[in-house]
Amino acid sequence: SSIAGGLASGIVNAPGKMRIYRHDIVHRVKKWTRENYLCSMNGDFYIVSFEKVWHSFEKLLKEHKIHMKSQDTLVVIPSRLAATRLPNKPLADIHGKPMIVHVWEKAVQADLGPVVVACADEEIVQAIQAFGGEAVLTDPALPSGTDRVKAAADLYDAEEKYHFIINIQGDLPTIDASIIPHVLDPFSNPAVDIATLGTPIKDPKELKDPATVKIAVSREGNDGVGRALYFSRNPIPSGEGEHYHHIGLYAFKRDALNKFVSLPLNALELREKLEQLRALAHGMRIDVKIIETEAPFGVDTAADLKKAIQVIGESYMCKP
């Protein structure tokens, strides 16, 4: 990147940040740890150790990568009226707005790119457009939310300008907008096909609840990212140690999304009622970013809706 090139050549000039000069320009990396840097900020000059400069450089580079991904990202929210347990739930009123509008607003607040709602019904299109959002009408017979995301991405972006597609489930009105960008973090590894989020389980009741999807994650580094080995409604893995609650938010590379919807259904997917197992069964790589947050809950029942109304109402009261 331009930042890395600047550091190697002797100067890093980042807008809004300090300008960093190599005190002794040497291109051999092994000598960097023994050098000091002359830095200027607001007209003053400072001698700064390599460790401090490198920490700032890593932070800038990470911000740069996230910014570049956000310019390459389309966010899609699949939604349909024909839910079995709570029909018409996308239009359920939560403090004066349809539930789907709350989800759309959170996606917009994440500021990752265009947000489009993939609708199975004209009524949802109208609800989103009434609040100034973008929506596309998709075939109501599509078999899954991911198929609906793919259909909407093809309609909205036929030229495939966007290489990352984020799928935010339309029944997550309590999702915190600040966690959404983290779903792109695993793509720092080019081998990753699909990325998702998880959070540590604190409540033993949650661990035993089949409505809470658990992830077996192989974590080797210290960046909070691990490889998903399996998803289950049962407590996994067994034994002592951390357990993780899966947050139903996915990011796909565009070609991975195209591949996923073309794959046949898998026996484990049908058994667990978890479509992400289809990807694992066919050798696709899913990585998980582990974050510390209260997991948002899906609205599937009247009781869930009542809870969502309460939670969102409390969040309104906390705003200044």
| CA 129 – CA 122 distance, rounded (Å) | 11
Residue-level pLDDT at 65? 47
**pLDDT by residue (tens digit) across 264-311?**
999 999 999 999 999 999 999 999 999 999 888 889 889 999 999 998
- In a 3-state reduction of DSSP, which class is residue 226? strand
pLDDT level of residue 319 (50, 70, 90 thresholds): low
- Give the pair of three-digit tokens for residue 199: 């959070």
Other beta carbons within 10 Å of 4:
13
| CA 186 – CA 223 distance, rounded (Å) | 9
| Confidence check: pLDDT of 313 > 80 | yes
| CA 236 – CA 217 distance, rounded (Å) | 9
List of residues 6+ apart from 108 with CB closer than 8 A: 115, 133
Residue-level pLDDT at 21? 40
Q: Are 18 and 11 in contact (CB under 8 A)?
A: no
Residue-level pLDDT at 33? 44
| CA 129 – CA 74 distance, rounded (Å) | 18
Other beta carbons within 10 Å of 20:
23
Q: Are 299 and 85 in contact (CB under 8 A)?
A: no
- Give the pair of three-digit tokens for residue 210: 């089949």
**pLDDT by residue (tens digit) across 71-116?**
699 999 999 998 778 889 999 999 999 999 999 999 999 999 999 9
Other beta carbons within 10 Å of 319:
5
Angle at CA of residue 132, ends 128 and 133, nearest 5°: 50
Residue-level pLDDT at 302? 92
Residue-level pLDDT at 61? 47
CA separation (Å) from 288 to 137, 150, 196, 197, 243?
31, 21, 5, 5, 13
Measured in whole angstroms, the distance separating CA 296 from the mean position of its chain's CA atoms is: 13
Residue-level pLDDT at 56? 53
Residue-level pLDDT at 80? 94
35 or 24, which is more confident: 35
Residue-level pLDDT at 55? 56
- Give the pair of three-digit tokens for residue 281: 């069964």
Give per-residue burial for 275-287: e unless 16+ CB within 10 Å, then b: bbbbbbeeebbbb
Q: If you search the block for the tokens 């996308």, which residue do you land on?
A: 90
Domains and CATH numbers, the chain: 2-67 (no CATH), 72-318 (3.90.550.10)
List of residues 6+ apart from 193 with CB closer than 8 A: 252, 253, 256, 259, 279, 284, 285, 286
Specify which of 1-15, 60-74, 273-287 reaches the highest per-range mean pLDDT: 273-287
| Confidence check: pLDDT of 17 > 70 | no
Angle at CA of residue 93, ends 175 and 312, nearest 5°: 35
**pLDDT by residue (tens digit) across 234-259?**
999 998 899 999 999 999 999 999 99
Residue-level pLDDT at 113? 94
Residue-level pLDDT at 67? 46
